[in-house]
Amino acid sequence: MKEITQSLRLSPSEIPNRIYGVENWAGGYFGVSEQGSLTVHPTRNPLMGVEVISLVQTLLQRRVAPPFLLRFPQILDTQIKELHEAFRNSIAEYNYGARHRGVYPMKVNQKRSVVERLMAAGHRYEYGLEVGTKAELAAALTLTIHPNALLICNGVKDRRYLEWAMLSKKIGKNPVLVMEEVSDLNKISEVSTALGIHPNLGIRVRVFSRGAGKWEESGGETSKFGINTIQLLDCLRLAADQGLARYLKMLHFHIGSQITDIRRIKNAIKEAARVYAKVYKMGFPTEYLNVGGGLGVDYDGSRTASDCSVNYSMQEFANDIVYTINEICQSENVPPPTIVTESGRAVAAHHAIFITNVIRTLNPGLGGSEINPSKVDSEVVREMMDIHKDINPKNFREYYHDALQHREELQSLFNLGYLNLQNRAQGEWLFWQICRKAIKFSRSMKERPEEFIDLENILASKYICNFSVFQSAPDSWALDQLFPIVPITRLTEEPTERATLCDITCDSDGQIDKFVDLRDVKQALELHGVNSEPYYLAIFLVGAYQESLGMNHNLLGSANEAHFLVDDSGRPHIDKVIRGESLGQVLASAGYTSQDLMESFRRMGQNAEAQLKISAEDREAFCESYRSALESYTYLED
């Protein structure tokens, strides 16, 4: 499809940004070298970058096969610093009379290496943890966090959860048990009396102001979580009755994740700060105002309030929160609370990149060759040949419609038995050629008709990639979330193809057909023709939620993982390689233990051998291949 190339007329250095928007969503962490290779800058120093392709080559040399998840722990450090410095700046700017404390919500990415790195990077800010389940708490209890850091215990809790949360005080943690419903108070009171431990308590309060976009359901009046104003009063009364009022230290609000519009945040904070002030004045000296998560990531780089973007920066987020709380506390004449934030997405999204290799490309109607007119013995094919020859910028709409009709005719004649397979193939080949010409001519129209835009999308190539959407970018499937996707090389070469990406699951949903675009959403991604060289695509901003939500659909397991650090001279170092799941591991998770599999397999082979269906030698070879494959990667290896 040479025509795209001509109509774009971009200079090589414009390609990365104009086509892929790299600098819009890169957040300073990603770039493109003069040679057209994608680079990563984990400390945001433009001079300290490494080429992704060289990291891939390093892994290949170590016999680690694609697809890979590449982690850049220094990006986590940089994000943590930015978040805390943003709040420090705002606090200084508005003369805010209390502190900010961040906690990391574990559900965003529970991987040990990620959480440990975050805790280390956040140590000097007394960065803490937020957990929502017993399992997350079990992990959190063992992690080293600053002695002053908070351990916020959210979620629905049973007795054991409550016990562990309270006992964590005895091993040096600062738990805050956040109640999600009024009845939690009775349970807490029982466990607390039994253990003789008085933990700090919080109340998760529902806000009227909702988030917006794909994730809005978790906030708002009808949200699954939190208690409303009527219950809040009940809860406060009950706490006072049970002598627990002085342990009530936190009011917690969370309006949802990926809040795209800063106004929603301001409105929710106004409401939350008022609730805090009123509760304080009722004689409950709560110390912490926890504003939850919601700080969004600009996945498409558009800086708008569209679903996959945000119309504000981290600093603006901090400013609005600090300013609003300050104003309201002053007007209500209550002391300013310590502001707690639980931002996870914004902290973790950038640090991981997923790399997949293109296995092959499919193109509707490509292949086949020019038709020799003397070999055509069908009237309808001959008519299509005429259209193909005579279609031009003036008549293309009409001729295209004629071609559609001929194609239908071709199909019915074939079904009735009047055409042979050669006739049919010739007709189809001509039809796709006519479509391509029509698309080309339609590009010069001022108002391009919808049908040609659709046609162009139908004619997009399919690039089959070695990965599973369900495992590695599940939100792309579940929420139609956009992730930036870019080839890691050839970025100064004009792309000649438009493609959608298909994974190797057998699920028709296993594909990506929406791509980031500055103005809109692209239905196809501009890519290069694949030659004999491997062609790798990087999916960006997958560090938040994608790993914990990823699933082994079709028994494709987790991907090979590598952690890279970049030193002061800009050289990359592999910090760690973690092998992806093997066939044996994913099979075991579905109930087929390797031992059972091997025993059954051997038995079947022996039976077959006894019945003389297979030779002893072949049986042994098959058995050995089966055994060794249980340790191998679930993705395509060649």
Residue 598 CB, nearest approach to ligand PLP (Å)? 42
DSSP E strand boundaries for 321-454:
338-341, 352-362
In whole angstroms, what separates CA 378 from the centre of its chain? Answer: 52
Give the whole-angstrom CA distance, residue 314 versus residue 291. Answer: 14
* Residues paired with residue 151 on neighbouring β-strands, in sequence order: 129, 175
Establish if 293 lies at the interface with ligand PLP (CB under 6 A).
yes
> Binders of ligand PLP among 578-637, rule CB under 6 A?
none
Phi, then psi, of 303 in degrees rounded to 5:
55, 40
Give the whole-angstrom CA distance, residue 41 versus residue 566. Answer: 8
Among 21, 202, 344, 557, binds ligand PLP (CB under 6 A): 344
Establish if 351 lies at the interface with ligand PLP (CB under 6 A).
no
Toward ligand PLP, which CB reaches closer, 178 or 403? 178
Toward ligand PLP, which CB reaches closer, 348 or 491? 348
Among 294, 336, 495, 572, binds ligand PLP (CB under 6 A): 294
Q: Residue 40 corresponds to which tokens in the numbers above?
A: 């990563």
Toward ligand PLP, which CB reaches closer, 107 or 528? 107
Establish if 105 lies at the interface with ligand PLP (CB under 6 A).
yes
Establish if 292 lies at the interface with ligand PLP (CB under 6 A).
yes
Establish if 254 lies at the interface with ligand PLP (CB under 6 A).
yes
Determine contact, residues 486/540, Cβ cutoff 8 Å. yes
Q: Pairing relation of β-strands 525-527 and 497-502?
A: antiparallel
Residue 257 CB, nearest approach to ligand PLP (Å)? 3
Nearest CA to 538 out of 510, 568, 556, 516 is that of 516
Establish if 514 lies at the interface with ligand PLP (CB under 6 A).
no
Toward ligand PLP, which CB reaches closer, 497 or 547? 547
Q: Report the residue number whose CB is nearest to ligand PLP.
A: 293
Give the whole-angstrom CA distance, residue 119 versus residue 356. Answer: 30
SS3 471: helix
Nearest CA to 349 out of 521, 631, 540, 526 is that of 540
Element (H or E) spanning 101, and its range? strand 100-105
> Binders of ligand PLP among 124-163, rule CB under 6 A?
130, 154
Establish if 42 lies at the interface with ligand PLP (CB under 6 A).
no
In whole angstroms, what separates CA 468 from the centre of its chain? Answer: 13
Residue 229 CB neighbours (<10 A): 13
Establish if 206 lies at the interface with ligand PLP (CB under 6 A).
no
Among 22, 70, 250, 295, binds ligand PLP (CB under 6 A): 295
Which residue is associated with the tokens 């400013």? 319
Instruction: Supply the DSSP symbol for 125.
Output: G
Determine contact, residues 164/134, Cβ cutoff 8 Å. yes
Residue 545 CB, nearest approach to ligand PLP (Å)? 7
Among 345, 406, 440, 498, binds ligand PLP (CB under 6 A): 345
Among 174, 260, 309, 343, binds ligand PLP (CB under 6 A): 343
Residue 202 CB, nearest approach to ligand PLP (Å)? 11
Establish if 546 lies at the interface with ligand PLP (CB under 6 A).
no
Q: Residue 477 corresponds to which tokens in the numbers above?
A: 């499937």
Angle of the 73-93 helix axis to the 314-332 helix axis, nearest 10: 30
Residue 152 CB, nearest approach to ligand PLP (Å)? 8
| Candidate segments 22-30, 286-294, 459-467, 625-633, binder of ligand PLP by CB under 6 A | 286-294
| Candidate segments 104-112, 185-193, 194-202, 275-283, binder of ligand PLP by CB under 6 A | 104-112
Residue 425 CB neighbours (<10 A): 15
Residue 338 CB, nearest approach to ligand PLP (Å)? 16
Residue 351 CB, nearest approach to ligand PLP (Å)? 14
> Binders of ligand PLP among 427-466, rule CB under 6 A?
none
Give the whole-angstrom CA distance, residue 275 versus residue 273. Answer: 5
Residue 205 CB, nearest approach to ligand PLP (Å)? 12
Toward ligand PLP, which CB reaches closer, 82 or 342? 342
SS3 211: coil
Residue 342 CB, nearest approach to ligand PLP (Å)? 4
Give the whole-angstrom CA distance, residue 302 versus residue 311. Answer: 8
Instruction: Supply the DSSP symbol for 540.
Output: -
Indicate the residue type of 584: G
Residue 349 CB, nearest approach to ligand PLP (Å)? 9
Establish if 109 lies at the interface with ligand PLP (CB under 6 A).
no
Q: Which residues bind ligand PLP (CB under 6 A)?
A: 105, 107-108, 130, 154, 254, 257-258, 292-295, 342-345
